[in-house]
């Protein structure tokens, strides 16, 4: 996380978490480069290592053994992670367009986005399953296993492509499907795998000794190979070949030649005949030297390299060095691929064949050798040194840093503010007589005469380096108080602190931040009416939100009634997850699902609460479930029973809590509520004190309405809404909360 104030001057944007980029991240984590902001835009956050792909398919490796957690690695590198896809480049403005979010500015750009199997231009190609993206394939593979077991007669798999990938896939898949499968052990012919290859042999690019050894394995496993054959038509349960032959195919899998994504075609980058980015020996685009490309997506002008992970791996250190050298004004270094590379092909049964030049060896020892190489490589990116939390190592105080003013002098200059504001949509709303478009000193709001004005304010430090995502979540959090009162958001004033960086960087961060905030406000029916932007040590954002409500219909904390059922609309655990994330100890997919939950607005829940006669409501935020519940119970003069087993939890929250991770606010939350209940030993108990960011609504409804209310909430924006307990009269108990 960016917490220190070394100014950022240049943006290096990495697109794709391929094998070269993981090295760049590790390198910048180990040797930070002052003044550089590294941003990684990646479609995936858990990425497979190519060398272990066959082992992942044959399930020789567990998922976690063969994948790299990009979130952890990016965090180690102090890189900003944007979990999304690049969709287009604006090479003139130096912008990367990203799916469903504002474009990202770069000074240097690097593409390591891999390739996917080419989809043959034949009718019915949509029926085929490409082997990449691998995660999608692994999910489908589980289904194939079940389909094989459930099919009454023979299950037929057709693999299109007989290169190394197709051969490795057929062997690994055969191994995985037959392992521990009583049906296939009894009747081996219940499964057939056929490889279709257009050339005269499988593995046409391999030396004859290696080919012979691998074909022996194909024959041993009774995998059928049809060479000099092309698929003409793909149907949902068959394929037709150019020879006229029709093969039954319950599953057709593509392991064809590597293909680049189509979006590169319109970027203006120089591409080769197949659409790959043409690069020079320094790994730079031949048309745009500020753009680098490595791995499968790159096509070297002076070398004809096969699409194999080994090149992306070897290019990584050169790329990392060149990005650094160009930043400090030095000449980049050339990458020289090795003349002969070693190919290690697994045979699915813990054996492998090694090929180099005209030589080949095989056996279990080759697999053990390969396994050792692969495990050593991936552990470089899985096991990271303890993080110091330092943004960079320099003690240099640059010109930007010198003589920074405090007080009003710490305000972001109007020129920067205007540049950012010009890029966000115009903010107009009935009742907003004057907003950010007017030159005056304050917003002017004219409320309707029959409505009460509801106001709330919240602000916090960033828990992610991505200002767009942070502002979306922060805005959602701030809106929660307005919704919890049963009010409609109208407008908001922003309080923003941006770290001291170059003007370019501040303007861009401000734009990202305002884009996120205004998007969330717009979705909630509100507008940004004004605000204040200052510079400070770290990124912080808050909103004062104005809402309107019928004063007679306000939802308050004080209305809970005996026999009410208590419902919580979002899972708990953001505090513990981000506490662990600060130490790079939370899994990427856990943090990802926490973000998804935090981005869900509670707004659409309010009409449902009102329909089912909610008696009282609050949003669960900093004081944790317990703090907010006790406020409600005290104000309503009732007590509650909470079923700890039923509490909805975010993925990973319980595991991390059991490992001892907790937010710095957890203990104060527990201390301030402890006189109201008897503490108990339970695995979810610590999480009732966990502070929540953009947490869910906690409310009471009459018992008879609870099930239907939950059903409707699940269909709206609260798929995790859960009954967590009930309310009763407080006459008999000394505790406000009892745990069941």
Q: Please report how close the Cβ of residue 98 comes to ligand FAD at its closest, in angstroms.
A: 8
Q: Helices (DSSP H) in 410-501: which residue ranges?
A: 414-422, 467-484
Establish if 17 lies at the interface with ligand FAD (CB under 6 A): yes
Q: Min. distance of Cβ 193 from ligand FAD in angstroms?
A: 14
Q: Is 341 exposed, middle or buried (0-12, 13-18, 19+ CB in 10 A)?
A: middle
Tell me the CA end-to-end span of the chain in Å, nearest whole number: 39
Tokens 């998922």 map to which residue?
Answer: 63
CB of 383 to ligand FAD, least distance (A): 20
Map the footprint of ligand FAD across residues 84-143, applying CB under 6 A. 85-86, 112-114, 131-133
Question: The dihedral of CA 284, 285, 289, 290: what is its sign?
Answer: negative
Of the residues 168, 250, 458, 465, which one makes contact with ligand FAD according to CB under 6 A? 168
Closest distance to ligand FAD from the beta carbon of 533 (Å): 30
Residues 479-538 that bind ligand FAD (CB under 6 A): none
Q: How far is CA 121 from the centre of its chain?
A: 32
Q: Tokens at residue 107, please?
A: 């000074």
Say how many residues touch ligand FAD, by CB under 6 A: 36
The one among 11, 20, 515, 569 contacting ligand FAD by CB under 6 A: 20
Task: Give SS3 for 239.
Answer: strand
- Could you tell me the smallest distance in angstroms from the CB atom of residue 127 to ligand FAD? 19
| 85 vs 673, beta carbon nearer ligand FAD | 85
Residue 12 CB-density burial (10 A; 0-12 exposed, 13-18 middle, 19+ buried)? buried
Rounded to 10 deg, the angle between the 19-30 and 309-327 helix axes is 40
Strand partners, 533: 496
Among the residue ranges 51-59, 483-491, 677-685, 707-715, the one whose residues contact ligand FAD (CB under 6 A):
51-59
Work out whether 47 is an interface residue with ligand FAD (CB under 6 A): yes
Q: What is the CA radius of gyration of the chain?
A: 29
Closer CB to ligand FAD, residue 131 or residue 513?
131
Which residue in the set 18, 103, 467, 480 belongs to the binding site for ligand FAD (CB under 6 A)?
18
The yes or no reply on residue 75 touching ligand FAD (CB under 6 A) is no
> Which residue stretch of 14-22, 268-276, 386-394, 621-629 sits at the interface with ligand FAD (rule: CB under 6 A)?
14-22
Angle separating helix axes 164-178 and 208-220, nearest 10 degrees? 30
| 32 or 166: CB nearest ligand FAD | 166
> Is the Cβ of residue 82 or residue 545 nearer to ligand FAD in the bound state?
82
Based on the shown chain and the rule CB under 6 A, indicate whether residue 350 belongs to the binding site for ligand FAD.
no
Sole window of 164-172, 328-336, 442-450, 462-470 interacting with ligand FAD (rule: CB under 6 A): 164-172
- CA–CA separation, 543 and 525 (whole Å): 15
> Closer CB to ligand FAD, residue 295 or residue 559?
295
For tokens 């050894």, the residue is 213
Candidates 9, 10, 19, 94: give the one binding ligand FAD (CB under 6 A). Answer: 19
* Residue placing its CB nearer to ligand FAD in the complex, 44 or 349: 44
Is there binding between residue 354 and ligand FAD (CB under 6 A)? no
Q: Does 24 bind ligand FAD (CB under 6 A)?
A: no
Return the closest-CA partner of residue 429 out of 325, 287, 529, 362: 529
Query: φ, ψ for residue 277 (rounded to 5)?
Result: -75, 125
Q: Kindly tell me which of 86 and 639 has the beta carbon lying closer to ligand FAD.
A: 86
- Report the alpha-carbon distance of residue 165 to residue 173 in Å, rounded: 12
466 binding ligand FAD? (CB under 6 A): no
Beta strands (DSSP E) in 462-570 are: 488-499, 527-536, 540-549, 564-568
> What angle (nearest 5°) sits at the alpha carbon of residue 561, between those of residues 558 and 565?
110
524 in Cβ contact with 479 (< 8 Å) = yes
**Least distance (Å) from ligand FAD to the CB of residue 201?**
19
In the complex with ligand FAD, the residue whose CB is nearer, 169 or 620, is: 169
d(Cα 571, Cα 586) in Å, to the nearest integer? 17
* From 307, 391, 600, 666, residue interacting with ligand FAD (rule: CB under 6 A): 307
652: left (phi over 0), alpha (psi -120 to 50) or beta: left
51 is an interface residue for ligand FAD by CB under 6 A: yes
- Three-state DSSP class for residue 739: strand
Interface pick for ligand FAD out of 8, 14, 53, 580 (rule CB under 6 A): 53
Q: Cα(268)–Cα(91) distance, rounded to whole angstroms?
A: 7
**Catalytic residue list contains 613:** no
Selecting among 408, 605, 613, 709, the annotated active-site residue is 408
Q: Going along 614-711, which residue ranges are E strands?
A: 616-619, 638-642, 697-702
430's CB contacts (< 8 A; 6+ apart) are none
Taking CB under 6 A as the binding criterion, the range among 11-19, 361-369, 510-518, 700-708 that sits at the site for ligand FAD is 11-19
Q: How far is the CB of 135 from ligand FAD (least distance, A)?
A: 9
CA distances from 174 to 7, 145, 157, 214, 678 (A): 55, 10, 10, 14, 57
Nearer to ligand FAD by Cβ, of 18 and 691: the residue is: 18
Among the residue ranges 16-24, 30-38, 410-418, 441-449, the one whose residues contact ligand FAD (CB under 6 A): 16-24
Q: Which of residues 260-299 bind ligand FAD (CB under 6 A)?
A: 261, 295-297
Q: Quote the least distance from Cβ 391 to ligand FAD, whole Å.
A: 24
3 state SS of 429: coil
For position 69 contacting ligand FAD by CB under 6 A, the verdict is: no
Cβ proximity of 290 and 108 under 8 Å: yes
Closest CA to 40 of 109, 143, 116: 109
CB nearer to ligand FAD: pick between 261 and 668: 261
Q: Which residues are catalytic?
A: 408
Q: Give me the residues that bind ligand FAD (CB under 6 A), please.
A: 15-20, 41-44, 47, 50-51, 53-54, 85-86, 112-114, 131-133, 165, 168-169, 255, 261, 295-297, 307-310, 312
């Amino acid at each position: 996380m960016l917490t220190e104030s070394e100014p950022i001057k240049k943006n290096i944007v990495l697109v794709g978490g391929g094998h070269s980029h993981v090295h760049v991240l590790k390198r910048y984590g180990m040797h930070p480069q002052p003044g550089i902001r590294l941003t990684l835009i990646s479609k995936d956050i858990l990425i497979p290592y190519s060398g272990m792909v066959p082992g992942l398919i044959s399930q020789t490796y567990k998922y976690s053994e063969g994948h790299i957690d990009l979130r952890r690695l990016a965090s180690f590198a102090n890189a900003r992670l944007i979990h999304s896809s690049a969709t287009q480049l604006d090479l003139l403005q130096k912008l990367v367009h990203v799916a469903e979010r504002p474009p990202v500015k770069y000074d240097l750009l690097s593409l390591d986005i891999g390739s996917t199997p080419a989809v043959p231009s034949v009718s019915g190609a949509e029926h085929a399953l490409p082997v990449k993206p691998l995660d999608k394939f692994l999910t489908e593979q589980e289904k194939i296993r079940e389909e094989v077991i459930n099919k009454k007669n023979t299950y037929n798999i057709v693999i299109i492509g007989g290169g190394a990938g197709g051969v490795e896939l057929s062997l690994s898949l055969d191994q995985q499907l037959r392992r521990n499968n009583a049906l296939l052990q009894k009747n081996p012919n219940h499964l057939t795998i056929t490889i279709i290859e257009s050339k005269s042999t499988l593995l046409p690019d391999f030396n004859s000794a290696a080919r012979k050894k691998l074909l022996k394995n194909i024959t041993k496993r009774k995998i059928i190979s049809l060479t000099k054959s092309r698929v003409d038509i793909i149907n949902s349960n068959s394929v037709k070949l150019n020879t006229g032959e029709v093969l039954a195919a319950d599953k057709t899998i593509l392991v064809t030649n590597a293909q680049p994504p189509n979006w590169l075609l319109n970027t203006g980058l120089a591409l080769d005949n197949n659409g790959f980015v043409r690069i020079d020996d320094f790994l730079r685009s031949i048309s745009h030297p500020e753009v680098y490309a490595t791995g499968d997506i790159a096509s070297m002008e002076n070398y004809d390299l096969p699409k194999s992970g080994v090149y992306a791996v070897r290019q990584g250190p050169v790329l990392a060095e060149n990005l650094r050298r160009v930043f400090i004004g030095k000449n980049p270094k050339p990458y020289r691929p090795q003349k002969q590379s070693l190919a290690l092909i697994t045979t699915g049964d813990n054996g492998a064949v090694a090929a180099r030049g005209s030589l080949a060896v095989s056996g279990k020892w080759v697999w053990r050798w390969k396994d050792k190489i692969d495990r050593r490589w991936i552990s470089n990116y899985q096991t990271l040194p303890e993080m110091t939390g330092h943004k960079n190592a320099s003690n240099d105080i640059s010109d930007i840093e010198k003589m920074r003013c405090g007080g009003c002098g710490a305000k972001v200059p109007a020129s920067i503010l205007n540049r950012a504001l010009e890029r966000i949509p115009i903010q107009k709303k009935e009742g907003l007589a004057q907003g950010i478009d007017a030159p005056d000193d304050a917003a002017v709001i004219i409320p309707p005469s029959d409505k009460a004005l509801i106001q709330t304010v919240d602000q916090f430090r960033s828990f992610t380096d991505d200002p767009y995502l942070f502002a979306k979540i922060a805005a959602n959090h701030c809106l929660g108080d307005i919704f919890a009162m049963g009010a409609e958001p109208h407008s908001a004033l922003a309080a923003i602190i941006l770290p001291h960086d170059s003007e370019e960087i501040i303007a861009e961060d401000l734009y990202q931040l305002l884009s996120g905030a205004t998007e969330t406000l717009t979705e909630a029916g509100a507008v940004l009416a004004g605000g204040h932007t200052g510079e400070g040590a770290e990124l912080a954002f808050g909103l004062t939100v104005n809402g309107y409500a019928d004063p007679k219909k306000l939802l308050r904390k004080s209305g809970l009634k005996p026999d009410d059922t208590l419902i919580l609309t979002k899972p708990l655990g953001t505090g513990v997850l981000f506490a662990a994330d600060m130490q790079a100890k939370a899994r990427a997919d856990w943090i990802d699902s926490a973000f998804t939950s935090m981005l869900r607005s509670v707004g659409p829940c309010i009409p449902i609460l009102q329909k089912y006669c909610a008696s009282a409501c609050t949003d669960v935020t900093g004081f944790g479930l317990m703090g907010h519940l006790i406020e409600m119970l005290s104000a309503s003069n009732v007590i509650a029973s909470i079923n700890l087993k039923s509490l909805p939890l975010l993925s990973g929250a319980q595991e991390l809590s059991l490992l001892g991770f907790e937010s710095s606010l957890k203990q104060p939350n527990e201390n301030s509520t402890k006189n109201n209940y008897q503490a108990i030993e339970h695995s979810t108990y610590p999480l009732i004190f966990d502070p929540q960011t953009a947490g869910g609504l906690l409310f009471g409804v009459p018992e008879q309405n609870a099930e239907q209310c939950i059903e409707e909430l699940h269909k709206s924006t609260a798929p995790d809404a859960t009954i967590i307990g009930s309310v009763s009269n407080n006459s008999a108990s000394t505790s406000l909360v009892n745990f069941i």
